[in-house]
Structure 1
Amino acid sequence: MTSRVFLVDDDADHLAALADLVGAGGHSARGFLRGAEALAALDSDPPEALITDLRMPEMDGFALLDAIGATGQDIPVILITGHGDIAHAVRAIQSGAEDFLEKPYDAGHLLGVLARVLRARATRTELARLQSEQLAAPAALLGDSPAMAALRDRITALAPLDVDVLLTGETGTGKELAARALHGAGPRGRGPFVALNCAALPEHLFESEMFGHAAGAFPGAQDRAGKLETAAGGTLMLDEVEAMALPLQAKLLRALQERQIERLGENRLRPLDLRIIATAKADLRQRIAGGSFRADLYYRLTGAEITLPPLRGLGPDIALIFAHYATLAARRYGRALPEPDFALRRDLMRHDWPGNVRELRLAAERHALGLEVTLPLPEAPTLADRVAEYEAREIRAALDRVRGQTERAAQDLGLPRRTLADKMARYGIRP
């Protein structure tokens, strides 16, 4: 998307050259010879960023920076300074400028600084929009990366279909958030959402918890509906379904196939009308191959499957999600939110996030409380690791462009189809 950028410099030749450079970078540049002219244009045509020379007659860069700040608009300012003006530039940064460049500057460096400033502003704008629309609800799935956009599209497409869904992903990737989003946007959204942690359910209590029991089924027992009945008209989420023992899988399978159950101690069938959303952090196909998960149950649960992306692959979304949770925590604790410094912003992007969003949320809350956030950085990757990462990224991008058609992707990449299939298997990529 083209960004509007104001340029201010009293040197007409330099202003024209700068406008050409910014325009070549894919942005819409508008030049002004005086700061007052740029300031007057803010109301009618506000830019996404402004680049200004520091030393100018009438209104210099400092005065323009102060005037923009007084308008209350979020317009990041980049200052261009002459040699020896670094002390002034540091003062400008302290006054609110986003960055500065010293003449003579490198064209590529200027465009890189501008791109970073625009991304930071877009992050702030998106966060404000999400919060203003109250998308801090449990089913919010934040981010604008291709992976998050694809996830939201997949949820939007599947939610109204009322099919059972299997959600897979690493620990902390937001499987329950996705399950709640599927439930809330579907035809059963007004019904109950019942969650059952399969990993925490003792085998001897399985039938009672899942199917319920009748009065007198065992000493002191009263009539009690199980999780399947409790979710009638709504959704039952089977969390960590891979942890369920094989004998219990068989009992669950029968109930799901027949869509009816018998309570313990009762001799009548009760129909089931519900949607099942199962979550797994392990690859159930591998569990099937290893004999610890039933293939027939897998196919019963998988009317559709969604894989949630790990946080480390979401790029700029990491800072957006961090800012979101830090803002919520600051409001909850009644504290002013400290601005993350450069080192923290850098570490957010470089950290591996093995705990994914759950780990990020804890880090954001520590930041909101003013506590130190220490993020151990991964060891420097080897050349082979970097090559493999590049290959995997390019293969995913090619598959995205052709909507998963491997033959066309192979043609685009200049690879034999079998070679592409081998690489996809090596990197765990599915079209």
Structure 2
Amino acid sequence: MSKLCTLAFLLLFSWLVRAQTTAETSTEPTQDSIKKSGFLKQLADGYLPTKYFNFDLRYLVKYNQYEALRTGLGGITNDAFSEKFRINSYVVYGFKDHRFKYSIGAGFRIAEKTNTWLDISYTDDLQETGSYPFLTDKRFFQLFEPRLLNISLFHKIISRSISLEYQLSPNILAETQLSINDINPTYAYEFALNGANYNLFNLSLAKIAVQWSPFSNFELAEKGVEEGEDGFPKFTFQYTKSFKDVFEGDFNFSNFEFKTIQQIQHKNKSLSEITIVSGISNGHAPLTHLYHAYPNNINKEKILRRFSVAGTSSFETMFFNEFFSDKFTTLQIKHALKPFNISEKYKPQLVLISRFAIGDMDNIDRHQNISFGTLEKGYSESGFEINKLFFGFGLSFAYRYGAYHLPNIDDNIAFKFTFNLTL
């Protein structure tokens, strides 16, 4: 399994490098730097541009425990196709569950100055149970997403949605979404409520997300708002309301999530980053729409059998599906020391990391046929990374301590690769 993932990743990486090289050598010298810069920006955003259509690199190759290899194509039309209308779609196939997943959507620009878009979409796919993606983070792209390799707990979701994304002000991005969702867990889960057991259910959701960047510098350009200098801290808020008996919705509940990121650049060229994430759910929410703390440790006994790739903001010693919460807070502190100036091109960097999570769950007996713990005692881990040792790869070490320290010392240790690529 791990060999297959590594091979797929290396093939994708080499293809991207060849694509970059082609783009660099096919232009005149006077245009080369401009086109190279534009190509790299598109690539960093997760797109491979063509004349009318930008391919979305998120859908090319992925791997997880439920689908095994997941591969497909996706993308979105660009401004050369139309500046007022866009079509986005993807189709992927899982080689273990033998099932196609897909999405089709269209968007209409309502106001150019505030970059306001009205979007509609239909999606038939999987979603990780306990995850809580922010609407305003949907364009976040990583060439390699290490947590995906070991996720096993998914639910099938068929979603029909309409959304409105808009720039309330230069520093405030917002998105509102209304959706009707059919949820079918892929594992033997039942939600017990009022004498009935639900193993599949319908949710009618209204969601609003706001991203506030008060210290970033923005400019009102001809085609909307463009971000200049990136400032911190940043704040993201998200509220979700589920309505019972509206479009056959089964449950009433509300969720609220909050995230803030602060970066401090020190005079000695070291960098500190503090990230706080919190969420709370009220009402009758099934496990699919509650919270985990983004664990990233494989459920295997030996350290070397758990050897994988560390994430950027995950708990490396916390086992998958070990904890769930209906209220939680996580704190992550990273301090990146000044890179070691070994040579002009070889500059590895030491990063010190500490993470803490606390949470709880009411009415845990409603969630049947699945076993998990809660975080009311507070979960702690600390460690370090040595990044960019070889072609973007490095090493990480983390140790689990405190109230959830395990009797077997080996079970508290996570030793993994890191991967950092700057385009």
Range of TM-score over shorter length = under 0.3
State TM-score, norm by structure 2.
Answer: 0.22
The structure that is strand-richer by fraction is 2
Larger RCO: 1 or 2 (CA < 8 Å, sep 6+):
1
State TM-score, norm by structure 1.
Answer: 0.22
Q: Name which one, 1 or 2, has greater alpha-carbon Rg.
A: 1
The structure that is helix-richer by fraction is 1
